[in-house]
Structure 1
Amino acid sequence: MHLLVALDDSEPGWAALEFACTEHADDDITVIHAVDPTSSGYGEIAHVGPSDLLERQREDAKELLAEAKDRAAERGCSIETDVTVGQPADTIVDYAADKELDLIVVGSHGRSGFSRVLLGSVAERVARQAPVPVTIVR
């Protein structure tokens, strides 16, 4: 089995990685971080420009994935990593389909009600759109 872990720098994201390493240690695991070029701090794009901002986001993603490799190794788990660019839910679903992966593992913040409507839920969108089973970890 080959599974995909979608990682952001959040407790649920790290919980998803831990789940994958605990429950699927003998399987192939690819961990990705989706860089969303449309999400930036207030005015950040005006100060550094779009290409510099994207490059900074990619560098941050590489550091995050290096930490993921370290955390996985501490659990005796070997992972592959990749940085993708695009809206996270769409990118995760497309990546899983393109690579013909068997399972997606994603963390969820567990928002409900108005905050979920306002902020959206990457995990929920992935679960609805994915061509493979999705495990949502909190």
Structure 2
Amino acid sequence: MLVQSCPVQQSRTYLTDLVFPPDTNHHNTIFGGKVMAYVDKIACIAAMRHCRKPVVTVSSDSFDFLAPIKTGEAINLEAYVTWTHRTSMEVFVKVESENLLTGTKRMTARAYLTMIALDEEGKPTLVPAVVPETEEEQLQHEKAKERYELRKKRKAEV
């Protein structure tokens, strides 16, 4: 079965939310688990936009927390499909904090997740290839095969 290719732009997804006190720990910074939930959710949306099918998360790797996000700041997330295999999609998610009073933004986290597309019976199904267009998208795409091989090796060692 031939599956149409899709540009990265089709999957590109943005999410912004305000960090309130119930979202934070005793340091007045957002809980890491809350950030991870945002990342998983936006990766799911990006993958579904790419393949137009239900998806599940099968892997989260290279999840790096770089800086805290404080109460009262905005959390900004961007996600897009960087690479596809037969039934899987690698999704890159970038997380920034934004001080809404000064406009200052800083990178706070980044992650790669692997999502699998499912058919009507809940079985893995083919996904469209991804077509990178910008320089950043092409760089992500070029390095994705190496990340895929590392994930495969890591799974085999378990």
Structures share fold, TM-score greater than 0.5: no
Structure 1 or 2: larger strand share?
A: 2
The normalised TM-score by structure 2 is 0.27
Structure 1 or 2: larger helix share?
A: 1
The normalised TM-score by structure 1 is 0.29
Greater Rg over alpha carbons, structure: 2
